[in-house]
Amino acid sequence: MARRNNRKRRPEPPGPSGFLVVDKPSGMTSHDVVDAARKWLGTRRVGHLGTLDPQATGVLPLAIRAATKLIPFIEGGAKGYDGTIILGSETDTLDHEGDFTSRFEGTLPDRETVEKALAEFTGDVQQVPPMYSAVKKDGVPLHKLARQGKEVERDPKWITIESIEMTRFESPELDVRVLCSAGTYVRVLAADLGKAVGCGAHLGGLRRTRSGPFVLEEAKTFERIEAAVERGGLEDLLVSPEEALGFPVLELNRDQRIRLVNGGDIPAGELHNRKPGTRVSVLGEGGDFLAVGEIRADHRLWPLRVLPLEG
């Protein structure tokens, strides 16, 4: 019988917690970016807030160290995308990475027809997840089944498309700007548009411009991040937990801190008039992030998630 390796992993040295907003380059998976960040920061505790397809670029927020505990309070926010849709052809992956499955030989629709069809996709709509996706069927990711040449029935899911703006029309291409709920596939939107106008379509390119509170303007390229690593300034690129969460902030004294980190409630201080259910970012005397709290009906603050101490 093989002997079990009972060696414990050496504890990581303490380091800064927060969120690193990466401008993901094309050709990398979201997990590839997580692996790179683990090397940059010297920690295994890195998680991303929402997968981006390998060929897509743009906003990929990463939670670092203790901030990984805050992901449930941030994920699920609105997403923004700039995409290019190509009319007249369909692919098996619904984007330009796949093999062509059909080509339209007739006259392509004009701008007015496409704009009218796009407008029908705003609001609450149903999407069928694509076969080439991380959605699971009976515990197996759909993309694995697709690569085996299998196609299975998928349940449609409700998503919300808040707005779609056509920013360019040069047939057969058009550019769109989309603001939508988490879980929306712009690839599916492209394919569904193609069906609606009768010529087929697929997604030519995609750039995420927003993910919850994080926007493209604050996303950092690999080159900028690696330069910061070399000069020892990567911490300066992190977004603080309280800034990312956007909750009201309450700073505690030493005695309140001890009570809170041990699961006790505390007075809500200047926030005592906030309505019950209000979530609060709780800081220590030195401004370090301690916890997410919630104001209850008794107007006291109760801890929802206390972050582990670093060091």
Is 218 within 8 Å of 21 (Cβ atoms)? Answer: yes
86 — phi, psi (to 5°)? -110, 115
53 catalytic? Reply is: yes
Can you tell me whether residue 80 is helix, strand or coil? strand
| Residue ranges of E strands in the chain | 18-24, 46-48, 57-64, 79-87, 89-91, 100-103, 123-127, 136-137, 140-141, 157-170, 173-180, 201-211, 214-215, 249-251, 266-267, 279-283, 289-295, 300-306
Nearest-angstrom CA–CA distance, 276 and 295: 5
Tokens representing 80? 């923004």
| Exposure string over 180-218, b if 16+ CB within 10 A, otherwise e | beeebbbbbbbbbbbebbebbbbbbbbbbbbbbbbebee
Catalytic annotation, pick one of 23, 53, 82, 192: 53
Catalytic residues: 53
